[in-house]
Amino acid sequence: MWTLQNGDLFSTIPSDLSDSMHELSIAMSIIDLVEEESERRGGAAVFAVHLKLGPLSGVVKEALISAWDLAREETVCSESKLVIQEIPITIYCTTCLAENPVESIQSLCCAACGTPSPRVITGRELEVTGLEIGG
């Protein structure tokens, strides 16, 4: 959207899009990666992109899906779907001597015994794990 203020023309980003600008750049980076792989395979069509996503990645799943729908237009991913596997946060607990889930995202404490732990094992993922590609 463009607005005119004091004789100057300014571009403004709608609030629903500006809230997901981070995810839009991530979606575009994923598409770049997928396009490179598609080219390596002779321009094969892409049907799905599989992604692991953890809550500590800094990416909002819903915003990424919305950004994906926008970014994939007129690319090899135009007919593809984004398949997201959500990865829970787990820590290594020095009291339990085991990998356990956390009580909450705000408190990295072992869900089994309550001991805090700085050793995050899973939950930071933002990783393309597979592509469904066809002729």
Domain annotation covers residue 99: no
Domain that holds residue 62: 16-87+124-134
- 116 part of a folded domain: no
Q: Where are the beta strands (DSSP E) in the chain?
A: 2-5, 8-11, 45-53, 81-86, 90-93, 98-101, 120-122, 126-134
Q: Write out pLDDT tens, residues 35-94.
A: 999 999 999 999 999 999 999 999 999 999 999 999 999 999 999 999 999 999 999 999
On whether residue 34 sits in a domain, the answer given is: yes
Number of domains in the chain: 1
CATH number reported for the structural domain that contains residue 23 in this entry: 3.30.2320.50
- The answer as to whether 73 is a domain residue is yes
CA of residue 28 relative to chain centroid, distance: 11
Per the domain annotation, does 104 fall within a domain?
Answer: no
Query: What global pTM score does this model have?
Result: 0.80
